[in-house]
Amino acid sequence: MAKKKTKQPAAQHTGLDDKVEILSAGEVVETAITDTLEQNYMPYAMSVIVSRALPEIDGFKPSHRKLLYTMYDMGLLKGAKTKSANIVGQTMRLNPHGDAAIYETMVRLSRGNESLLVPFVDSKGNFGKAYSRDMAYAASRYTEAKLDSVCEELFRDIDSDTVDFVDNYDSTTKEPTLLPVTFPNILTNNTLGIAVGMASSICSFNLEEVCNTTIALIKDENHNIKDTLLAPDFAGGGTILYDASDIDGVYENGRGSIRVQSKWEYIKDGNLIEVSQIPPTTTVEAIMDKVADLVKQGKIKEINDMRDETDKHGLKLTFDLKRGQDPEKLMAKLFKSTPLEDSFSANFNVLIGGVPKVMGVKEIITEWLAFRTECVKRRTYHTLKGKKDRLHLVKGLEYILLDIDRAIAIVRETEDEKEVVPNLMIGFGIDEIQAEYVAEIRLRQLNRNYILKRIEEKEQLIAEIAELESILKSESKIKRIIIKELEAVIKKYAQPRKSDIRYGAPQVEAEEVEEIPAYPVHVFVTAHGYIKKITPQSLRMSGEHKLKDDDTIVQQFETTNDAHLLFFTDGASVYKARAAHFEDSKASVLGEYVPARLGMDDSENIVHTVVTKDYSGFLLFVFENGKVAKIPLASYETKTNRKKLINAFSDKAKLVKIMHFTGNTDVVLISTVNRALVVNTSQIPEKTTKNSIGVQVQTLKKNQTVKSVVTLEAAQLENHSKFRTKNVPAAGSFLKENDIAQQLTLE
């Protein structure tokens, strides 16, 4: 066993259990380190876990709950705002931490800070901004605050014995252990907490969606929550890149990663980009620092200037672009390499009965329903007890009604005031509580009408008591009460989503790092999807290529073994591989069948293959409707070794041909009516969205389509200038026999 020597005073018990006598100081006592950890560290760790860092089922940490209850106790739910310093000082009766920590808690809960989707503190003054690292909040003596109106839902039943109260740290007052929230607040606000050996990170969801999901689960416990709870919703907005597997992980297990992208807009008049919303995990300053770094390194060359123009109207980060730059291409680069796109790591760790537990969304709502059901039962029992007590008093008045004069006589004839209650008890056969109530009635109230009105309460009280007792016995009635409360919350406090949802976001896979030898090879691709990778030496020694009877070689490349191969299919997908993934072959064999090797769908066929080492250049996708999409090849480069990309190009129109160029080139489009159009690829604007439908290049009449496209060099037109146009779209000119080289034929 490991031993640790510590200096501590020797002690001897004097016979009294609560007193220890120090005999000498400085004596070395051997102590097992495990005992030290158990006696000193474990209590600290448990205190942090249970009493500080992790939220409970009401959605609050102890520091939040103490602050909000203090404000409620100060009358700040209905009253006017008061200085924040006053609130901080009052909160110290419940929270013995320093004033700075308490004020920082209040800042985060405030509307002005914009940290929470559902803020609880109505603030006045500078409370800073969650999206800014340098925009500090003002001191507590300058700002004012009160509880926001939504806090009515936190304290609605707190005086009806719905939750337990305990002594504060010095037993001078009481504080609630939980707040009886009428909606699942645990899911409507993001909560971050770092304990000892564990942490919690809960993302926020839209209030209306959470309440609707809870109502649906009450009605049907097998409800699919994805139908009503679309995705997280952050206070700062942004665009959520929806990934079904990540969302399923968060909803089912309470763990997962939510990718969030900034919202931006291109202002054409000023040639600038304005970013108005950023992910919740970053700040404006962090983004600017990273962009400035990339500009210094020469990785970003499209930006002239960058400014933080945030004002009272909200966040605004501006990028001035150089002339001729594509904003979509720039933003794609920035999303890839800066916090303009970031991930929120979810870890739904919640304290349930003092025990930390990681739960999915459905399990959290189920736990909240159990908690809220108990609150409703306790409130109902509290109300029932009050009604029964009132009924008991009213029944005492019934006896007085029978003979008011006799009651007056008993009071008048009693010599000692202390004997009035006992004499009334004897005279009318009522108990002490009823007699005390009768004795307290003022003389002016001893008239028949007053007593009759009080007795009229009896039937109403009996009916109310019966209803309350039926609620306590009926789970369905309690559920209806909870549903009614949730519907009221939706009606009063529902707000539209702040975060947009973009479906079809690409899945991130783990990157594989491998060393590949880069020796020269020749790559041959056949019409039927076979591939051969042959070294120059082997090719020189080989004879004719062996192919299937009806197969031909459609593409061949001189490259190296580490090159990237991109196989575009007629299913609008692209499959990626390295040349090294295929075995070195010979001309005398058929080669490897690519669809089987890469796991393509049975219905997919390869329409074009691109070989690249650095993803330079661009692709032209020419469609039958005369549109052409010019996509940078870099758009298909991924940080991870993904085998397949869907939506590789647009499938809105039939594809005629894919062409890969590293520089601008003249191409010839030929329509079904033999109109030819010569266009330089520089005339076609570049798009970063892979499945862009492109721009109209050749105009076509009804029932006309583009039938072929070739490079101008391959076309060998005799007089190509008459087929060239300065502007697109254009129809082109008709081909004649003397214009056409042997490579082109008229149908």
**Cis omega before residue 729 (within 30°)?**
yes
Statement to judge: residues 67 and 171 lie in one domain: yes
Predicted confidence at residue 513, as pLDDT, reads 42
Q: What is the mean pLDDT of residues 203-216?
A: 96
Distances (CA, A) of 266 to 223, 327, 689: 42, 7, 15
Predicted confidence at residue 744, as pLDDT, reads 55
Within a domain: 470: yes
Residue with tokens 């509580």: 433
Element (H, E) at 30: strand 28-32
- Asked if 142 is an active-site residue, the reply is yes
Predicted confidence at residue 505, as pLDDT, reads 54
Distances (CA, A) of 435 to 337, 386, 412, 745: 81, 18, 15, 117
Which residue, of 470, 500, 530, is where some domain finishes? Answer: 500
Q: How far apart are CA 388 and CA 511, in angstroms?
A: 70
Predicted confidence at residue 145, as pLDDT, reads 97
CATH number assigned to the domain comprising residue 99? 3.90.199.10
Q: Model confidence at 412, in pLDDT bands (50, 70, 90)? A: confident
Statement to judge: residues 298 and 284 lie in one domain: yes
Q: Where are the alpha helices (DSSP H) in 641-741?
A: 712-715
Domain that holds residue 152: 54-179
Statement to judge: residues 562 and 702 lie in one domain: yes
Predicted confidence at residue 26, as pLDDT, reads 65
Count other Cβ atoms within 10 Å, centred on residue 625.
17
Copy the structure tokens of residue 591: 């080669």
Within a domain: 250: no
Q: Model confidence at 438, in pLDDT bands (50, 70, 90)? A: confident
Which residue, of 138, 157, 179, is where some domain finishes? Answer: 179
Q: Which tens digits make up the pLDDT trace of 609-665?
A: 999 999 999 999 999 999 999 999 999 988 777 788 999 999 999 999 999 999 999
Q: Which tens digits make up the pLDDT trace of 121-149?
A: 999 999 999 999 888 999 999 999 999 99
Statement to judge: residues 175 and 111 lie in one domain: yes
553-560: strand order across its sheet: 553-560, 520-526, 530-534, 592-593
Within a domain: 462: yes
CATH number assigned to the domain comprising residue 335? 3.30.1360.40
Look up residue 546 and give its DSSP letter.
P
SS3 label, residue 526:
strand
Residue with tokens 């082997």: 538
Which residue, of 179, 202, 221, is where some domain finishes? Answer: 179
Within a domain: 377: yes
Q: Which tens digits make up the pLDDT trace of 668-706?
A: 999 999 899 999 999 999 998 999 999 999 999 999 999
Predicted confidence at residue 515, as pLDDT, reads 60
Instruction: Answer whether residue 10 shows pLDDT above 60.
Output: no
Neighbouring residues of 631: CB distance < 8 A, sequence distance ≥ 6: 618, 619, 621, 649, 686, 687, 688, 689, 690, 692
Lowest-confidence pick of 398-407, 430-439, 468-477, 525-534: 398-407
SS3 label, residue 282:
coil
Q: Model confidence at 740, in pLDDT bands (50, 70, 90)? A: low
Q: How far apart are CA 337 and CA 639, in angstroms?
A: 10
Within a domain: 47: no
Query: Are 320 and 304 spatial neighbours (Cβ–Cβ below 8 Å)?
Result: yes
Lowest-confidence pick of 20-24, 212-216, 444-448, 555-559: 20-24
Round the average pLDDT of the chain to a whole number and report it. Answer: 88
Lowest-confidence pick of 148-152, 208-212, 586-590: 586-590
Copy the structure tokens of residue 396: 């005492």
Query: Are 589 and 546 spatial neighbours (Cβ–Cβ below 8 Å)?
Result: yes
Statement to judge: residues 460 and 526 lie in one domain: no
Statement to judge: residues 674 and 531 lie in one domain: yes
- In 3D, which of 635, 692, 627 has the Cα closest to residue 656? 627
Statement to judge: residues 68 and 24 lie in one domain: no
Statement to judge: residues 712 and 664 lie in one domain: yes
Instruction: Answer whether residue 509 shows pLDDT above 70.
Output: no
Q: What per-residue string of b and e applies to 83-110 under the rule 16 or more CB within 10 Å gives b? A: ebbebbebbebbbeeeeeebbbbbbbbb
Q: What is the mean pLDDT of residues 440-448?
A: 75
Q: List the beta bridge partners of residue 7.
A: 28
Within a domain: 237: no
Phi, psi for 563 (deg, rounded to 5) = -70, 155
Q: Model confidence at 256, in pLDDT bands (50, 70, 90)? A: very high
Statement to judge: residues 548 and 442 lie in one domain: no
Instruction: Answer whether residue 16 shows pLDDT above 70.
Output: no
Q: What is the mean pLDDT of residues 707-721?
A: 85
The DSSP-derived string for 146-211 is EE-GGGHHHHTTTTTT-S-EEE-TTSSSEEESS---SS-HHHHS-EEEE-SS-EEEE--B-HHHHH
Within a domain: 256: no
Within a domain: 242: no
Predicted confidence at residue 441, as pLDDT, reads 79
Q: What percent of the chain has pLDDT over 70?
A: 93
Statement to judge: residues 602 and 551 lie in one domain: yes
Statement to judge: residues 307 and 381 lie in one domain: no
Q: How far apart are CA 339 and CA 292, in angstroms?
A: 13
Predicted confidence at residue 11, as pLDDT, reads 44
Q: Which of 41, 44, 142, 169 is catalytic?
A: 142
Round the CA-based radius of gyration of the chain to a whole number and report it: 39
Predicted confidence at residue 717, as pLDDT, reads 81
pTM above 0.85, yes or no: no
Predicted confidence at residue 306, as pLDDT, reads 94
CATH number assigned to the domain comprising residue 221? 1.10.268.10
Neighbouring residues of 204: CB distance < 8 A, sequence distance ≥ 6: 116, 117, 118, 187, 188, 189, 190, 232, 233, 234, 235
Lowest-confidence pick of 238-247, 398-407, 537-546, 568-577: 398-407
Query: β-strand 239-241 against 500-502: which pairing, if any?
Result: parallel
Q: How far apart are CA 64 and CA 62, in angstroms?
A: 5
Statement to judge: residues 593 and 689 lie in one domain: yes
| Tally of structural domains, the chain | 5
Q: Which tens digits make up the pLDDT trace of 277-309?
A: 999 999 999 999 999 998 888 788 889 999 999
